[in-house]
Amino acid sequence: MVSRRDAILTGVARATDLHERLGVRDELAAGDRAVDVLGAVQRLGLFLMFRPLDGLLGAYVPTRALSGILVTTKRDLHVQRFTAAHELGHHILEHKVLSLDAVVGFVGRGETSKHDHQEIEADAFAAEFLLPKWLIAAHLLRQNWGRSHLQQPDFVYQLSLRLGTSYSATCWALLSQRFLDRETVMRLLSVEPKVAKQRAVPDMKPENWHRDVWLVSEKDRGAHILGSPDDLIVLELDENVASGYTWDAKAIALAGMSLEQDDRFTANEDRLGGRVQRRLVLQGEGHKRLFLEERRAWDVSQQSRNTFEIELALVGREPEGIPRSGRVLAA
């Protein structure tokens, strides 16, 4: 009989093998985006479909002709991504039975102990595929965050957004990848993500707190953000006001985004993102390329002092049908 430990090790090893096979580690070495699990499924030639499933999050259907994965449309993008990774694990691990997963668990929290070894392997695969230690480390390095930052829920929440996983899954990954001890993780899990969201925009009262709030600084220059249309993007950028340089906010409207708030404040080293003077709160939908320039408003002939560029995919959960990326290719 396969032990739980052996099942976990097998799932982790196969996820690592697939990273190598697809070149994932090289693609994500800069820590500027999350693992493209839906793209990985498609690159492997699997049929992927989103449906409003009742009573389950996903299913893997192995056939001789064309194996496929079903994922629910009733849950948010984070759950859809983890579900897809879990079902991909069944395929990579060559599990032969139909998998109808009523619950997508996470190996680190022990919720899969009642499952058979195939479910444990698939969960371990999904966790390692989406949240490998090297990717977490790459994001921490890019943001200049250390273990002291990981003690604070606000930073862990921002990390989870960049990894494209839920806050709770990220907490458990920090435990299983030995960034944090269990006591710290349990303390972090006792704090609702809503608290971190409220602290990120203390002077705003959104319609609801289901939306995510991204705190984006110059360390995110060139990054790819995968979010939802309801998300708030809070840009916190240094601005050399004393020399007459300001960030040209007109580019926000040109990118098809709305400017919800625009203010300046004196530097506060306790804020996420470090020393900040200009804060722009944005909202938008779809794929956007935002390019901002810091310049003197009265001198249009002069080159900008600084620039900031970021790619935004504010698309939210996958709707019914094949993945959006597949529809673009088909068109």
Residues β-bridged to residue 100 = 59
Q: Could you check whether 4-131 and 209-314 share the same CATH topology? A: no
Instruction: Give the integer Cα–Cα distance in Å for 108 and 176.
Output: 6
pTM for this one?
0.91
In 53-134, DSSP assigns E strands to 58-61, 68-72, 99-101
Q: Quick one: three-class SS letters along 8-60?
A: HHHHHHHHHHHHHHHCHHHHCCCCCCCCCHHHHHHHCCCEEEEECCCCCCEEE
Instruction: Give the integer Cα–Cα distance in Å for 230 and 315.
Output: 9
Residue type, 318: E
For residue 55, give Cα distances in angstroms to 51, 71, 82, 170: 12, 12, 17, 25
Residue type, 162: R
**The CATH fold of domain 209-314:** Immunoglobulin-like (2.60.40)
Instruction: Give the integer Cα–Cα distance in Å for 305 and 301.
Output: 12
**Domain boundaries 4-131, corresponding CATH code:** 1.10.10.2910
Which pLDDT belongs to residue 30? Answer: 97
Contact 164, 78 (CB under 8 A): yes
Cβ atoms within 10 A of the Cβ of 21, count?
12
Residues 223/228/230/233 CA torsion (nearest 10 deg): -10
Which pLDDT belongs to residue 327? Answer: 63
The domain limits of the chain are 4-131, 134-196, 209-314
Q: Which tokens sit at 73?
A: 């449309």
Which pLDDT belongs to residue 208? Answer: 79
Query: Within its chain, how far is the Cα of 97 from the centroid?
Result: 30
Residues 127/166/107/146 CA torsion (nearest 10 deg): 80
Instruction: Give the integer Cα–Cα distance in Å for 55 and 63.
Output: 23
Contacts of 272 (CB under 8 A, 6+ apart): 154, 155, 158, 200, 215, 217, 236
Q: How many CA atoms lie within 13 A of 222 on its CB side?
A: 7
Averaged pLDDT in 10-residue chunks for the chain of 331 residues: 90 98 98 97 95 91 86 96 96 75 40 68 96 98 97 98 97 97 98 94 84 96 97 94 87 96 75 66 97 85 87 97 73 46
* Max Cα distance, the chain (Å): 75
